[in-house]
């Protein structure tokens, strides 16, 4: 069923956007042919967040679109306060649509006396009044289990697959995981485009020595595609690209879902040997990203828009995983 042909089911669909990624929210609204609900999210003089829903949402099926990206705590608080405002305004159901779920890298206790912040954030979202969660490429799939409400974790792989097939010669490609932990994600994309798989294994032989990049797989003469869920500082990706080229790779590109790109990451990518870094708009691109010559942004608005439409009308979302 086309997005524009859908009725309102048992309750009217309402889309509410926070301030984290207004452009993505507007693209989703365009896809669904549903205008964004009027909502004021502003700050008091002491930077407290104040929210006012400026339309009737009583009995509505409301989707709050808000990535918890930088500044993470501000955007998380916006999400919680918007959710509380909707609950107190008698919304029938509230779905937190979180394209990028901040704190996802704190999904376990790495050492003693440390938090599992991803679980804490899941609890906050649930207790604020969310009835379900829709997110994209969680850093660790088990985070779905941190929520005590239904949680759909979409994958950007179908969007990346279409982009790769439209732009490249598939018989010369090799998909590469930049570390051992990302092998499952890389293998899934390799299977989709029928390409071989390689792995970059980084290890430190002795304390105080620099990391050695070992490439598992024959990349000679191949166009290598590095695949991962998050790029933050960009150091691992840049080093992996150099290691692949040293071992005879013809070319290196990277497809990453969430472009966190903190600190000097954009400059690091711009001056690297990567032919291109492709990221999604799960996090609103900065001006530096927009003007970078070798960074390109592809939109996940149709994917999330379709998932919202199907969720609202109790249709299957699992087919979108394919």
How does DSSP assign 119-177, residue by residue? HHHHHHHHHHT-SEEEEES-SSGGGGGG-SS-EEEE-SHHHHHHHHHHHS-GGGEEEEE
> For the chain, which residues score pLDDT lower than 50?
1-10
pLDDT score, position 11: 62
Cα(224)–Cα(198) distance, integer angstroms:
9
Q: What is the pTM of this model?
A: 0.92
pLDDT score, position 206: 60
SS3 of residue 280 by DSSP:
strand
pLDDT score, position 10: 43
pLDDT score, position 207: 56
Is 107 annotated as ligand-binding?
A: no
* Cα→Cα distances 50→80, 85, 154, 221, Å: 11, 10, 30, 56
Tell me the pLDDT tens digit for each residue of 152-187: 999 999 999 999 999 998 999 999 999 888 999 999
Is 234 annotated as ligand-binding?
A: yes
**The tokens 């890298």 sit on which residue?**
105
Please tell me if the domain spanning 3-155+301-321 has the same topology as the one spanning 157-298. yes
Is 105 annotated as ligand-binding?
A: yes
Domain 3-155+301-321, CATH among 3.40.190.10, 3.90.1150.10, 3.30.360.10, 3.40.50.2020: 3.40.50.2020
pLDDT score, position 298: 98
pLDDT score, position 7: 41
Would residue 202 show up in a list of annotated catalytic residues for this protein? yes
Q: Which of 202, 220, 250, 273 is catalytic?
A: 202
Is 66 annotated as ligand-binding?
A: no
Q: Which of the 8 DSSP states describes residue 259?
A: E
**Which residue stretches of 33-116 are H helix?**
72-88
Domain boundaries, the chain: 3-155+301-321, 157-298
Residue 70 and residue 20 in contact, taking contact as beta carbons nearer than 8 Å:
no
The CATH number that domain 157-298 falls under is 3.40.50.2020
Sequence-separated contacts (24+) of 118-123 with Cβ below 8 Å:
118/143, 118/146, 119/146, 121/68, 121/76, 122/146, 122/147
Query: What is the pLDDT of the chain when averaged over all its residues?
Result: 93
């Amino acid at each position: 069923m086309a997005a524009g042909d859908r009725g309102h089911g048992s309750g009217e669909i309402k889309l509410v956007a926070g301030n984290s990624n207004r452009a993505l929210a507007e693209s989703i609204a365009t896809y669904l042919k549903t205008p964004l609900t009027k909502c004021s999210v502003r700050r008091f003089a002491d930077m407290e967040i104040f929210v006012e829903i400026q339309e009737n949402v009583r009995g509505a099926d409301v989707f709050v679109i808000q990535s918890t990206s930088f500044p993470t705590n501000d955007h998380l608080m916006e999400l919680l306060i918007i959710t509380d405002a909707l609950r107190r305004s008698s919304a029938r159901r509230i779905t937190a649509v979180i394209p990028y779920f901040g704190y996802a890298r704190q999904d376990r206790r790495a050492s003693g006396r440390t938090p599992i912040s991803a679980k804490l954030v899941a609890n906050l979202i649930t207790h604020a009044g969310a009835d379900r969660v829709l997110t994209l490429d969680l850093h660790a799939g088990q985070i779905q289990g941190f929520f005590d409400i239904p949680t759909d974790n979409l994958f950007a792989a179908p969007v990346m697959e279409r982009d790769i097939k439209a732009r490249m010669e598939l018989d010369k490609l090799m998909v590469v995981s930049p570390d051992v932990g990302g092998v499952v994600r890389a293998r899934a994309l390799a299977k989709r485009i029928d390409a071989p798989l390689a792995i970059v294994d980084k290890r430190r032989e002795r304390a105080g020595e620099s990391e050695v990049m070992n490439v598992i797989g024959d990349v000679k003469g191949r166009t290598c595609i590095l695949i991962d869920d998050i790029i933050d500082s960009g150091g691992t990706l840049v080093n992996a690209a150099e290691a692949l080229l040293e071992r005879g790779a013809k070319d290196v590109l990277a497809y990453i879902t969430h472009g966190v790109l903190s600190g000097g990451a954009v400059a690091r990518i711009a001056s690297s040997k990567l032919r291109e870094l492709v990221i999604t708009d799960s996090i609103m691109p900065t001006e530096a990203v927009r003007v970078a010559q070798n960074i390109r942004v592809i939109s996940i608005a149709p994917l999330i828009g379709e998932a919202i439409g199907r969720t609202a009308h109790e249709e299957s979302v699992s087919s979108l995983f394919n």
